[in-house]
Amino acid sequence: MADPTPAETRREAEQILTLPEIARRTGGEYRTLFNWRNRGILTPSVQQANGSGTRDLFSQRDAAVAGVLVRLRKRGLGIEGVAAVAKLLAEHDRVLCPACDSKPINLATLDHKGDTDAH
């Protein structure tokens, strides 16, 4: 196995996530999260992709927001409602994650295994 690149090492140290990683951790479908990304509902706070060879990179807080939005959507909230909640969370980010800047979020609290609602 090859040594990790400096970018990979930074990602691990800072708990930076890609969209597929957020999809796996939250139980959301990648294509849904990608659609939200394109609509501006879910935005990467670490790095926005800029041409080929770059990726959107998301923080732990971004992952927490995605987890909340995925759960609400699975429980039947429409896309307009999801967008409204995302906006509120962006405006009041300390409510969702008061410690995000100081320590990683335990994404197990966003675990989807207990959810039985359909998409």
pTM of the model: 0.70
CA distance 85 to 65: 9
38 pLDDT more than 80: yes
Q: Is the pLDDT of residue 113 over 50?
A: no
Looking at the domain that runs over 6-97, which CATH code has it been given?
A: 1.10.1660.10
pLDDT of residue 68: 94
Phi-psi region of 51 (alpha: psi -120 to 50; beta: other; left: phi over 0): left
Q: How far apart are CA 102 and CA 104, in angstroms?
A: 7
**Other CB atoms closer than 10 Å to residue 23's CB: what's the count?**
19
Identify the residue with better confidence: 80 or 7. Answer: 80
Asked if pLDDT for residue 97 goes beyond 60, the answer is no
pLDDT of residue 90: 86
Write the pLDDT tens digit of every residue in 70-92: 999 999 999 999 999 999 988 87
Per residue in 45-58, pLDDT tens?
Answer: 999 988 888 899 99
Per-residue pLDDT, 1:
59
Q: CB under 8 Å to 106, separation ≥6 — which residues?
A: none
Residues 6+ apart with CB under 8 A from 71: 110, 112, 115
As beta bridge partners, residue 58 has 17
